[in-house]
Amino acid sequence: MASYPEVPRRTGVPRDVLRWLQSLDLSFSPKNFRRDFSNGYITAEIMYWYYPEDIQLHSFGNGTSLATKLGNWSQLEKFFMKRKLNVSKELIDGTIHCKPGAAEILLQEIYVMLTNRRVRTIQDSEVDFTDRHYQEKLPMVARSTAIKAVKNNITLSEILAEPDIIVNKQKVQAVIDLHLHQRQQERIDDPKRFNVKPSLGERAIRLPPPPDHSDSVSSLSNRSSSSSLSSGSSRADIRSKTNVNFKEIKVNQGGRSYISSSSTVSSSTLSAS
């Protein structure tokens, strides 16, 4: 029975993946996955065991400079495209810039692709290359401020690899938005700590509407329409009963005669009314 060295704990990688990694007899055993996988040299060694005709180890450097990292991963990306291995660009960038959890997820995806085995943590966990999960474990007083969150989640090598100011501003804004969202969630979870007082709308007592509200509104509209109809009919009756006659009256003023007209109501009409 083959004996394996002791597997390091608290690495974020399943034991089956670690056993498989140690069985490959690599040039050195990774202890810090975030640091040791960033230059891509271990990934090249893993691929060499399965595809020795496509990987030339002498063309890969085991250095820590940004140029070495970008050169190694550029060759690996060409190899992934040739062999049609689906490794996301976001995952590669996270491994290069030592993002939290990126190297562990990359190793698990390579394990699944090369061995055709299932790892539960890949399919069931949310991929997040920020320190959000670590910050949630800390008490509120020990959590990062906005400036500290930017420093923790954006590395210097990330800025040097992508010198575009607009892209870097977008990354900073995304980190700040995430930080503000966490702060708002903290205020919701513990309003007493932040002395959050309920608004007037939250304190107001909301009563349900009366059940016959629609019926009363319809009855009022019917009454108003009937009253308007009755008033209109009474006015029409008055107008039909009155008979107005006009008579010319001659007025003499200063040798001039003016003709004016006045309305008179016939006695028969008045008597009838």
Instruction: Please name the amino acid found at residue 58.
Output: H
pTM: 0.60
Rg (CA), the chain: 44
pLDDT tens, the chain, 273 aa long? 333 343 344 457 888 899 999 899 888 888 889 899 999 999 999 999 999 999 999 999 999 899 999 999 999 999 999 999 999 898 999 999 998 889 999 999 999 999 988 776 544 445 677 888 888 888 888 889 999 999 888 888 888 888 888 988 998 999 899 889 988 888 888 888 878 787 888 778 878 877 765 555 566 566 665 555 555 555 555 455 555 555 666 666 555 544 444 444 444 444 444
CA distance 19 to 10: 15
> Which is the CATH superfamily of the domain at 15-124?
Calponin-like domain (1.10.418.10)
φ, ψ of residue 146 in degrees (nearest 5): -65, -45
Tokens of 43: 């990934």
Pairwise CA distance, residues 69 & 66, whole Å: 5
Nearest to 267 by CA among 236, 248, 245: 245
Cα(142)–Cα(138) distance, rounded to whole angstroms?
A: 6
Residue listed under structure tokens 């028969």: 268
CA dist 6 → 9, 18, 54, 119, 157 (Å): 9, 10, 32, 21, 33
Given this model, what pLDDT does residue 214 score?
53
Q: What are phi and psi of 185, to 5 degrees?
A: -65, -35
- Give 13's contacts (C-beta < 8 A, 6+ positions apart): 33, 104, 107, 108
* pLDDT, position 218: 61
Numbered ranges of CATH 1.10.418.10 in the chain: 15-124
pLDDT score recorded for residue 261: 45
3-state SS, residue 249: strand
Q: Which two tokens stand for residue 209?
A: 């509407």
pLDDT of residue 111: 93
Residue 219 structure tokens: 């009855």
